Structure formats: structure tokens, C-alpha cells
Chain A
Amino acid sequence: MAEADQSPIERLTFFDKTELVGARWWQPSVSDEGDTNTPGRRKALLILGALVAAPLAVAVVNHLSDDSATDQIRPSTDLQRENGWDVGSAGRKLDWADANITDVDGSVDWQKHVKTLASDLAPPPPLLLPWALPTLLQMPSLPINASLANQIMPICDSSDMPDAWQVGRALVGQLGVVPGAHSDLMVVVDLPGPKSISVAAALSDAMTPVFILDNCPHPAGVVPAHRTLGALLYLLPRFLAGPSVRPAGAPPVLVLDSARLSPYSDAPDQFDNRYLARMPSPAQLREVGVAHVLYVGMSTDVLDDLVDSFDAWVKAGIDIRMVQYGDFTPTTSTTGEPNFGPGRRAWFGGTAESDAGFWYNYGWYQPTVPRPLGWVARPSGLWRFRWRSSVFGSNLGRVHTIRWGGGLGSSGRSGSWTRTGGSSFG
């Protein structure tokens, strides 16, 4: 939040007398209804309903109570922009398990891009650029986050990322059997951060990555966003090579971190760096010719923050279907080393035969490969899904009642003084 947008600090009282000089200020936005020593009752700047309309990860500055309508609610990322990425936990280190000195190609060139990731990986203007929400990529470039930029490293989780890469390559393979036809396709990759990054890196040969990662790492973060950032750095050469490989005007792949809505319940030792995904509008999809959306998720459930957008897309005539990450079976590495080459791919359904039937499940395109003998459509629940009709906003207050930090020491008091002050000189 720009400072100009913040509620001002107002002077309440002022004295310039022989016996007393002084002033007292208050800030309306940090208020409660019981304040009898302020000009009047003030409502909070933001209420939960407003947050539904403006989906943002939020941090509640105040301790929330049942009558918390007047609590100040601010985006976590605003606080991190103003106070540093590790606000409240300065000095605490991130977990850098699986960190590497080099990227996927064994290079340290990633270091040159740490502060320019957002621009280096920005989708092309004018149509796709506004869709991106690359907060995670921007944060290391802020001067106040220099310690983050100095700390981040490429991450390769060998238990996840090579397999996810293969899933991405499998999708590239599927696009290859419907050449040209998939120009009206958009893929939404909604997996845990490093997995999403790996799938998208593989897909970037054929599709244009659009990052919707609206959060920032934090030492006590609910979402391990630094691992997503580290995975991005590890596979950066693949993303950077993408524009020279994929055709101009390649359709978009939206890259989300499904951990963005991780469970959280007001834990004082955690920082809420979750976020709500902002999806393009139906009109924006139409502008780039999207008619089909393939949602890649971990299960048949769509995350709640996408429901409203998906409803709107369907109403606009855009067909949305899904494929589960687990429907792909990666091939086993013979060397045991992570392999992020173009030749490694998973198989949809586990075999070449079932893989050949991929598009026949969707009916969108006529693949160049024949329908396998004995092919049977997969159970609809696996490729055609429903989303819950519950309105995400009904959960928002709970999901986003957020405090961060903690470890402030015991409650109570410290200091030398145990009585109230007086102005009497006598």
C-alpha cells in the first residue's frame, strides 16, 4: 500500500503552555469501538465483504475478537514491502533444504536475474501482461528486501520436481498431437509451488507462462514461498529459453501455488503469507481466444478462490475441465539423477496406449494419433469436475484472520513502573 493511501495520523490534543508542552496523536484506522478518548467511533477501512471483491492475502494487524469489524486488515505483502520481507522475524533464516549453488544447467547465471525476475519472466504485452501477479518475483528486487535477495538460492527437490517436469513434458507431448488446434487452450497449473514451477517450465516450450504468485517468503510463513522462488531459480534457464522455442502468440499457462490457501488458524508463531489468486475475466480470455481451460490440480477439487472466476468463465461459454496430476505416471530415472531434459516425460494413465487417448477424454480436438484400440473414457470424475457451490467469502473471515510474528515474550509488563502517571509537581 502506498503511504499516501494510508490513513493519516491525526493530532488529537496540543499544549503550548508554561507548565506543559505536548501533543497526542491517534490513527483512526487502528482503532476500536470502545475508544472513548477519540473523536468518534470509526469503522475499519476494510471489512471482509470488501475482501471478497478485492481478493488479497491479508494480515490483521490487531488481535481479532468477535467484534472485530474495526480491526485493521492489510495485505501481508504491503507490510513486507514497508517493513521488509522478514517483518517480525528479522534474523530468522529460511529453510534451504535441497538448495543448490547452480541452476538446472549447472550455471550460476541465475544470480544475475534475482532482482529482475519479474521483468525477465513477464508475459508479453499488451494482452497477457495484465494477467500476471508476480509479487513473489518482485520482492527480491526491493531495496528493503536486500537480505532476501542475498539469501535465496535455487532449489531442486528431487522427490517432486523431476516428476513434475515430466508431467509438463507429457502435456507438451499432448499439444504436439493437436498442432495448431490448441491455440484456444489455456492451462491452469495449480499445484504446490515447486511442482507448479516444474510443470510450467516444461510447458514453456509450447505455452506462455503467466505467474500468479501474489505472496512473499517469510521465515515463519504459512506458505513456503521461498521454495517456489528457489524452484523458479533452478529452472530459470528453461523459462528464459521458452520465448525462443515456443511460437509467437503461444497460449497462456497460468502458474499458481496451491499452497496459497494452506490451513491456518491464528497461530502466533506464523506469518500469514497466503494469497487469493486473481484470475483474468471472461472478456480477457476472449481477447486472446481462449475457449478451453485445462485445470491441472492435485485432486478433483478446485481451490475455493477460483470458484467465482470459473463460474463466470463457464457462463461466458468457456469450457473448463481438469486433469489430475496423479493421472500421469513418470518414467523412472535410470541414473537416479534429476533429469530435466526434453526427452523425459510421464505417461497419462501410465501407458503409451492410455496416453494416446488423452484428448479423446475431452473432445476438444481431433488428435493426429488414432484412438487406441479398446480405449474407454476415463471415469468422468477424473477429467470432468465440479466445484463446490459454497461461496469462498463465507470462509474468508476465518481463513484470513491473520496475525503474524509472535515470540514477543510473555504477556504482562516489564519496566520499572507500576503506577499511572500524574502531572502534579507537588
Chain B
Amino acid sequence: MAWTFFNMQMAFRSPPGDPLRQAVRDLVVKSGHRHTPSQHRELYRRLNELVQRAMPQLQRWAWDLVRTDSARDDYQEWNTDLEDTSDVPDMQANAATPFEQHAVITVILLTPQGSVADQGLGVLCDLPESIWMRRATCARLLAGLESLDFATMHGDGIYLQPGPRGHGPLAADLDDGWDWLAAVE
């Protein structure tokens, strides 16, 4: 079976206690164990609502639509890496500069190629390269997620790093450990 993998990773300027982090955390934590596709779509609608408000805080980001043979492996590598917190470095040293810290929000999606969700992603991501890294593009992609057909989505994940009270990476940390994130245009 051929797969499509989509990811978005967004680094927002966000100090500990930032309402954005708290709101995203509450959304994920209270989202429940089982959803209908409509409920799941509502989850993404609310995520979009929250994150759009923070769009001015967006500093760096990356996105990708993968339709190669590696799509499914990429999805698994992503969720494995994201969920393995054993090697997360201590960011306590950044406590002195809370307003220089970032929070990273990640969305990953996996759907069979040819599915309605895949077609939706195809339309959503059909963008000229010249605008790939714009803030408005980030907002558009995020807003488009809620229109996807989650009935045909195989898997998806929403992640926030760190949690509401944790200390996040500074710009230098992003340069070092998140170097694939590009500055927003």
C-alpha cells in the first residue's frame, strides 16, 4: 500500500505559562480516547483556532508532504522520535530568559494515497515554492487541516514541546537541535 505523510512543525516564541501552551495542552489532554471522524475534525478545528491566534509569535517552521516509498517509515520515525523523551536535554538553564524561549507544536498525518484525505492534502499543499515558508502559508496549511476527511486518515498526532510550565529552547537551541526549522518569511 502506498502512503502519504504530512507534517508541520512550528516554533513559537512562548514563555512558560503562555496561554497558547496551556490551551493546546488542555485541548489535547481533554480530547478523549475515541473519536468519530467529525469529532476528530473538531479537534483540528479548535487546534487551528488556538494556534492561529499565536501566529504573530511564529519564528521558525517546517512542513512536508511525502508521497514517496518512505512515507510510512517517516511517519513512524517521527512519532517514535517525538514520543521518546528519554533524551530530552534539561532546559532549566533557559529559565533566566523566559521570553526568549520557544514552544514547538507538531502535527503529523498518515493517510493512504488516493484517499479523500490524501486528495485534500494534495490540494492544500499545491503551493508555489516561492511562498512555502511564509507565515500566511503556515496559517493556510493549519487552517486546511480541519477540512480533511479524517474518516480516511490512518494515523495522526499532535505534540507540544515542552508542556505549559516547561522551559523551552532558545534560538541557539533551535539552531543546534532543530536546524531543519527555517525562519518564517
> 0/1 per residue, A9-37, Cβ < 8 Å to B?
11111011111111111110011101111
Chain A interface: which size bin?
Answer: 35 or more
How close is A32's CB to chain B, nearest CB, in angstroms? 5
Given A416-B62, A419-B180, A423-B88, verify A27-B154 contact (CB < 8 Å): yes
Whether B114 lies near A63 (C-beta < 8 A) is yes
B interface secondary structure, majority: mixed
- The interface residues of chain A lying within 8 Å CB-to-CB of B130 are none
1/0 per position for B103-137, CB-CB distance to A under 8 A? 00010100111111011001101110100110000
Q: Are B151's CB and A6's CB within 8 A?
A: yes
B65-93 with Cβ < 8 A to chain A: 65-68, 74, 76-85, 87-89, 91
A23 to B24, CA, bound (A): 11
Q: In the complex the two chains form, is A417's CB within 8 Å of B64's CB?
A: yes
Q: Are B85 and A15 in contact, CB atoms less than 8 angstroms apart?
A: yes
Query: Is the beta-carbon distance between A413 and B67 smaller than 8 angstroms?
Result: yes
Taking the complex as formed, is B158 at the interface, i.e. its CB lies under 8 A from any CB of chain A? yes
Inside 8 A of A413's CB, which chain B residues have their CB?
64-68
Residues facing B in A351-379 (CB within 8 A) are none
- Give complex CA distance A83, B115 in Å: 12
Q: Which residues of B contact A36 (CB under 8 A)?
A: 76
* A424:B177 contact, CB within 8 angstroms: yes
Interface string of B6-33 (1 = CB under 8 A from A): 0101000000000000001100110111
Q: Is the CB of A21 within 8 A of B64?
A: no
Task: Write out the residue numbers on chain A whose beta carbons fall within 8 Å of the beta carbon of B62.
Answer: 415-417
- Chain A contact residues, majority secondary structure: loop
Asked whether A426 is an interface residue with its Cβ less than 8 Å from the other chain, the reply is: yes
Q: Does B144 contact A (CB under 8 A)?
A: no
A54 interface hit (Cβ, 8 Å)? no
Q: Which residues of A contact B80 (CB under 8 A)?
A: 37
What is the CA–CA distance of A3 and B158 in the complex, to the nearest angstrom?
23
A30 to B75: give the CA distance in the assembly, Å: 15
Cβ contacts under 8 Å, B108 to chain A: 24
**A159 on the B face (CB < 8 A):** no
- Please indicate the chain A residues that have their CB under 8 angstroms from the CB of B76 in the complex: 36-37
Cβ contacts under 8 Å, A20 to chain B: 82-83, 85, 88, 159-163
Bound CA span A417–B176, Å? 16
Q: Which residues between 81 and 130 of chain A lie within 8 Å of chain B, taking CB atoms?
A: 82-83, 87-88
* Closest 8 pairs between A and B when the two form their complex, measured CB to CB: A408-B122, A415-B64, A22-B159, A62-B112, A24-B157, A426-B89, A417-B64, A417-B62
- Chain B positions within 8 Å of A, measured between CB atoms, are 1-2, 7, 9, 24-25, 28-29, 31-40, 61-68, 74, 76-85, 87-89, 91, 106, 108, 111-116, 118-119, 122-123, 125-127, 129, 132-133, 149-166, 168-169, 173, 176-178, 180, 182
